[in-house]
């Protein structure tokens, strides 16, 4: 649910990074934070446990520039990936405009990817969203690890919608901004479509 | 699922007037109005030195978590939260199920006064936001107000990233 303020001429949109535990959602945000001009971003907030696992969410506000005289702002959130934090995940999806699903490319995490994707579908449905219609981008993360599954298999398992998908190595930033740009575009296109009819 | 929140000049002015008045009537330091999804709508008072974007996001997270707790025990929502600090305190209340009113105050005010004033402006804000909702719905069904985004081209979007 975007927020359009005609008085301050701003559009605010919410993007959520979703995926199984330790797939690299927080790492994506950390890289974006490090590489973005300080004027274009706010503070990054991480509500994490003492062992640096996400407890509630990470939050990073970004400003992308003007579109037709309106400042476009994106609020990036991650969810806690660990299975038992499901109640928190549901809350963070409230008001979402677009989702980045980060999949862990390692062979042994395939089941966790599929489980998390199905969990996303269920949690979105509870909020009144349809995963088959919401702006969505996929990221195949950890491509640098030795035991990765090939991307065709990942497509087959997770990309029945045939949405944009990017290979990534999040700590090095490979694929991180490509993913962000793709979701931001889809969200803006949806905004255009949503207000034109 | 709630529709997009659209705030026009006229309502923005009304909202800002109300919270400006609340700052003085409640003897508060700062008053914020935040959307339930964590977007800052308006603020008033001494906001310097406060990271308003983070405050908005964390307030919404706080309300969301508390709302989750409420449901677990069979309540619809907790409409008021209060956090007491050594010097500053935060009073948080939900208006019309969708916006959050945050009042930060110190020893110059009291919880009783803040609660009293919040209750009064809550009714006013509720009326304003009911109107905003109505207008947003009309706009999204293509009636009444022109949207600037209908005209966005692919090039406009592309230019953001160049």
pLDDT at A192: 82
Residues 6+ apart with CB under 8 A from A47: A54, A55, A56, A57, A58, B61
Residue B46 has pLDDT above 70, yes or no: yes
> With contacts defined as CB-CB under 8 Å, which chain B residues touch A128?
1
Q: How far does B52 lie from chain A, in Å, by closest CA?
A: 10
Q: Is residue B85 part of a domain?
A: yes
Which two tokens mark A54? 């996400």
CATH number, domain at B115? Answer: 3.30.450.30
- Report if residue B56 sits inside a domain: yes
- CA pair distance B61, B81, nearest whole angstrom: 13
Nearest CA-CA partner of A17 in A97, A107, A115: A97
Model pLDDT, residue B2: 58
Cβ-Cβ contacts under 8 Å, B9 against chain A: 6-7
Whether A3 and B148 lie within 8 Å, measured CB to CB:
no
- Residue A1: list chain B partners with CB under 8 A: 1-5, 37
With an 8 Å Cβ cutoff, are A189 and B157 in contact? yes
B2 assigned to some structural domain: no
Report the residue of chain A nearest B12, measured CA to CA.
Answer: A7
Q: Do B9 and A7 touch (CB under 8 A)?
A: yes
DSSP per-residue string spanning B103-149: EEE-TTS-HHHHHHHHHHHHHHHHHHHHHHHHHHHHHHTT-SSPPTT
Share of chain B above pLDDT 70, in %: 92
Contact status, residue A31 vs residue A171, Cβ threshold 8 Å: yes
The DSSP output letter for A83 is G
Domain count, chain B: 1
CA atoms within 13 A on the CB side of A113: 27
Contact A68 B151 (CB under 8 A): yes
The Cα B145–Cα B159 span in angstroms is: 26
Which residues of B are less than 8 Å from A32 in CB distance?
Answer: none
State both tokens at B99. Answer: 């916006």
pLDDT tens-digit map of B76-115: 999 999 999 999 999 999 998 889 999 999 999 999 999 9
Q: Do B57 and A191 touch (CB under 8 A)?
A: no
Q: What are A71's strand-pairing partners?
A: A10, A66
Tell me the C-alpha distance between A123 and A87, whole Å.
9
End-to-end CA distance of chain A: 16
pLDDT tens digits for range B49-80: 899 989 999 999 999 999 999 999 999 999 99
Residues of B in contact with A57 (CB under 8 A): 61
Nearest to A3 among B5, B61, B68 (CB): B5
Q: Are A16 and A99 in contact (CB under 8 A)?
A: yes
Beta carbons of B57 and A59 less than 8 Å apart: yes
Taking CB atoms and an 8 Å limit, are B149 and A196 in contact across chains? yes
Could you please state the CATH topology (level 3) that the domain comprising A3-196 is classified under. Rossmann fold (3.40.50)
Contact B135, B144 (CB under 8 A): yes
Phi and psi at A86, nearest 5°, equal: -60, -40
Mutate to test the interface with B, among A1, A41, A64 (most CBs of B within 10 A): A1
Range from A12-26, A110-124, B112-126, B140-154 carrying the lowest mean pLDDT: B140-154
Residue B145 banded pLDDT, cuts 50, 70, 90: very low
Residue B7's pLDDT is what? 87
SS (H, E, C) A101-128: EEEECEHHHHHHHHHHHHHHHHHHHHCC
Q: Indicate the pairing of strand A3-5 with strand B89-95.
A: unpaired
Residues of A with CB below 8 A from B151's CB?
68
Tokens 């700062």 -> residue:
B30
> Could you tell me if residue B118 is inside a domain?
yes
**Apex CA A90: angle with CA A59 and CA A48, to 5°?**
40
Domain residues for B103? 9-160
B74 lies in some domain: yes
Token pair recorded at residue B54: 């983070």
Q: Which of A27, A103, A11, A102 is nearest to A62 (CA)?
A: A11
Residues in chain B within 8 Å Cβ distance of A191: 149, 152
Residue B1 lies in a domain: no
Binning pLDDT at 50, 70 and 90, where does residue B140 land? Answer: low
Contact yes or no for B152 and A67 at CB 8 A: yes
Determine whether the interchain pair A43/B38 forms a contact, defined as Cβ–Cβ distance below 8 Å: no
How do the domains of chain A map onto residue ranges?
Answer: 3-196
**Residue A64 vs residue B84, higher pLDDT:** B84
Across the interface, do A3 and B157 touch by the CB < 8 Å criterion? no
Select from B5, B17, B37 the residue whose CB has the most chain A CBs within 10 Å, as the one to mutate to test that interface.
B37
Chain B positions in Cβ-Cβ contact with residue A88 (cut-off 8 Å): 65, 68
Question: What value does the mean pLDDT of chain B take?
Answer: 89
**According to the model, what pLDDT value does residue A21 have?**
96
Beta-bridge mates of residue A78: A17, A58
Q: Does B3 reside within a domain?
A: no
């Amino acid at each position: 649910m975007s927020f359009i303020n005609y008085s301050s001429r701003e559009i605010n949109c919410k993007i959520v990074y979703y995926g199984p535990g330790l797939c690299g959602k927080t790492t994506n945000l950390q890289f974006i934070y490090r590489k973005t001009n300080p004027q274009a971003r706010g503070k990054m907030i991480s509500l994490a446990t003492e062992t640096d696992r996400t407890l509630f969410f990470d939050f990073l506000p970004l400003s992308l520039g003007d579109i037709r005289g309106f400042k476009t702002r994106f609020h990036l959130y991650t969810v806690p990936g660990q299975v038992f934090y499901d109640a928190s995940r549901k809350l963070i999806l409230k008001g979402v405009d677009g989702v980045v699903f980060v999949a862990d490319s390692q062979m042994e995490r395939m089941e966790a990817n599929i489980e998390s994707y199905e969990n996303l579908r269920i949690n979105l449905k509870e909020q009144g969203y349809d995963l088959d219609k919401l702006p969505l981008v996929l990221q195949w993360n950890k491509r640098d690890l030795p035991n990765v599954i090939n991307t065709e298999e990942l497509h087959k398992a997770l990309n029945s919608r045939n949405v944009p998908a990017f290979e990534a190595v999040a700590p090095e930033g490979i694929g991180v901004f490509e993913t962000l740009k793709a979701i931001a575009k889809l969200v803006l296109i949806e905004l255009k479509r949503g207000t034109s009819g | 699922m709630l529709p997009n929140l659209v705030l026009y000049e006229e309502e923005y002015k009304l909202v800002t007037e109300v919270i400006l008045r609340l700052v003085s009537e409640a003897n508060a330091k700062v008053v914020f109005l935040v959307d339930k999804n964590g977007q800052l709508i308006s603020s008033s008072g001494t906001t310097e030195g406060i990271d308003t974007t983070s405050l908005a996001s964390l307030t919404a997270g706080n309300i969301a978590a508390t709302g989750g707790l409420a449901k677990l025990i069979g309540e619809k929502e907790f409409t008021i939260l209060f956090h007491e600090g050594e010097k500053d305190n935060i009073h948080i209340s939900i208006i019309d199920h969708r916006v959050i009113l945050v009042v930060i105050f110190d020893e110059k005010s009291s919880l009783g006064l803040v609660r009293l004033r919040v209750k009064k402006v809550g009714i006013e804000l509720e009326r304003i936001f009911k109107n905003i909702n109505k207008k947003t719905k009309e706009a999204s069904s293509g009636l009444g107000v022109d949207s600037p985004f209908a005209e966005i081209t692919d090039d406009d979007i592309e230019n953001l990233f160049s």
